Copies of this chain bind each other. A is one copy, B any other.
C-alpha cells in the first residue's frame, strides 16, 4: 500500500463554509483519502512512503473544469474580437479542419500542463480524435470526462457515433479509473431529432450520460423555435433526452420553464462566464438556476474563446457577473463560487461520489496553495481570499488520484519544454505560417 501524508496545511474541505482545519493532516492510501483531521491525528505517520510538509499552505479539492475543448490551446490568440459566425467560419473551422490526431494530442497535453499549473485536477472535454485526448489525460495524470463531439448534420455523423462507442469501450473507467466517457452530441441545432434518437439508443446500450451544448446564443434559440416550435431545452425534453444523465453546457438564454426543467432533470449545467462574455453570447441566469435547485459547475470553454484555462479567474468572474447582472451583491458569495468550481463540477459530470471534497472515502484530488503572498494578506476570511484574490500561480502542489503530479510548481508528469515546442511548431503550421 502506498501512503502519502500531507501535514501542516490549513484544510478547506469544502464540506461546509466553516469546515476548515488549521494545520491539519490528510492521509492518502493507494489514492484514497482515509483520514482528514487535526494536527497529529493521522495514525502511523512514521510509516509513510511520502510526507508533504505544507505549513503556510492551504489544502483544498482541485478545481473541476466541467466544460472545455482542451486541444484548442493550439488556437489560443489565433482569432479574437470577431463576430461569432465570422470567427467560426473564417478562422476556427478552417484551422481545425487541418488538425491531425497528433496535433490534438499535443494541444491537449499543453492544456493538461496549463490546468495542472493552475490547480485544475479534472476536466470535461468534447472534441474530435478523443483517443488522443485520452492518451494526454493518461500520460499527464489528469482526471477527465471525455466526449466525442458528434454533429448529426455532417457526412461524418455515423462515423462520429462509431467513434464515440469505440471511445467508451476503450477508455471508460480506464487510466486507473481517471477517465470516464459521456456521449457528446454537439447541440440541438447541429443534431436533428433522428440523430439524437441514435445517440440516446447508444447511451442506453452503453449506460452513459450525455454532454451537450444548449442555448448558447440567441440565434440558436430562434433557430430551434423556428424549426420545432419550442425552446432548445423544451425541445430536448420532449425528445426524452433528460431521461439520461445530461450535462448541459452554456444555458445562456433560458425562460422560466427551461430553468425548471434543467433544475429538476439535468445532472448538471456548465456555466462558462468568460467565454460567454468574450463571444458576447450573453449572461447565463445562474443565480436563478441555483434558486431553483439546479446543479451548476464552472467551465472555461476552449482557449480560443477565453483565452486561458484558469479556474480561479473563471469562478471569480462568474461570481461577479451574477452579482452585477442581478443587481444583487449577495448572490454567488465566495464559498458558493468555490463549491461550483469543485464539488458541484464533480456532480455535473457524475463524479460527485469520487472527487470534489477533502473527505474520507473520496479519491485524493487535492491542491496546495501558497496563502502567504501580498495579494492574500491579511487573512480576515480565507475563503474570500481564495475566491476573490488568489492567482493561478499560488497553486504550488497538485495531487491527482493520490499521485503528486506537481510539487512546488515542478510538473512531474509532463516534459514542459517538449510540449510547448510541439505546440509552437504545430500551431505555426496550422495557421499556415
Mark A residues whose CB is within 8 Å of B: 73-78, 80-84, 87, 110, 113-114, 117-118, 274, 276-283, 303, 306-310, 313, 316-317, 319-321, 323-324, 326-330, 333-334, 372-375, 377-382, 384-385, 388-389, 391-393, 416, 419-420, 423-424, 427-428, 431
Of B74, B82, B118, B323, which is within 8 A of A330 by CB? B82
A114 to B424, CA, bound (A): 32
Shortest CB-to-CB span from A193 to chain B, Å, is 30
Point out which of A114, A319, A320, A321 has the most chain B C-beta atoms below 10 A from its C-beta: A320
Q: A326, A374, A427: which has the most chain B beta carbons within 10 Å?
A: A374
Nearest Cβ on chain B to A338's Cβ, whole angstroms: 12
Q: Are B377 and A420 in contact (CB under 8 A)?
A: yes
A320 touches B317 (CB 8 A): yes
A274 adjacent to B320 (CB under 8 Å): yes
Which of B381, B392, B420 lies in contact with A77, CB distance below 8 A? Answer: B381
The CA-CA distance from A428 to B333 in the complex, in Å, is 23
Q: Determine the residue in chain B with the shortest Cβ distance to A335.
A: B81
Task: Kindly report which residue of chain B lies nearest to residue A377, judged by CB atoms.
Answer: B420
A420 / chain B contacts, CB cutoff of 8 Å = 372, 374, 377
Q: Which residues of B contact A274 (CB under 8 A)?
A: 320
Could you tell me if A389 and B76 are in contact, using CB atoms closer than 8 angstroms?
Answer: yes
8 Å CB contact of A277 from B118, B320, B372, B428 = B320
Q: For A428, what are the chain B residues with a Cβ–Cβ distance below 8 Å?
A: 378
Closest to A372 in B: B420
- Chain B residues lying within 8 Å of A303, measured Cβ to Cβ, are 389
Nearest B residue (CB) for A117: B374
Expressed in whole angstroms, the Cα–Cα distance for A321 and B282 within the complex equals 10
Number of copies: 2
Closest to A382 in B: B77
B324 pairs with A283, CB closer than 8 A? yes
Complex contact B113–A374 (CB within 8 A): yes
Q: Find chain B residues with CB under 8 A from A77 CB.
A: 378-382, 384-385, 388-389
- How far is B330's CA from A113's CA once the two chains are assembled, in angstroms? 30
Which residues from B are CB-within-8-Å of A321?
277, 321, 324
Complex Cα gap A384–B308 (Å): 11
Is B307's CB under 8 angstroms from A384's CB? Answer: yes
16 CB-based A-B contacts, threshold 8 Å: A73-B377, A73-B378, A76-B389, A77-B378, A77-B381, A77-B389, A81-B333, A84-B329, A114-B375, A117-B374, A278-B329, A280-B329, A308-B389, A317-B317, A378-B427, A378-B428
- Beta-carbon contact of B385 and A307 below 8 Å: yes
* Contact of A424 (CB < 8 Å), options: B118, B278, B319, B378: B378
CB contacts (< 8 Å) of A324 on chain B: these are: 276-278, 280-283, 321
Q: Which residues of B contact A84 (CB under 8 A)?
A: 329
Whether the pair A280, B80 counts as a contact (CB closer than 8 A) is no
How distant is the Cα of A74 from the Cα of B378 in the complex, in angstroms? 7
**Assembly CA distance A274 to B377 (angstroms):** 19
Q: Could you tell me if B377 and A76 are in contact, using CB atoms closer than 8 angstroms?
A: yes
Whether the Cβ atoms of B423 and A377 lie closer than 8 Å is: yes
Contacts A277-B323, A278-B324 supplied; 16 other A-B pairs, CB < 8 Å: A73-B377, A74-B378, A76-B380, A76-B385, A77-B378, A77-B389, A81-B334, A276-B324, A278-B320, A278-B323, A278-B388, A280-B328, A283-B324, A303-B389, A308-B388, A308-B389
B375 touches A308 (CB 8 A): yes
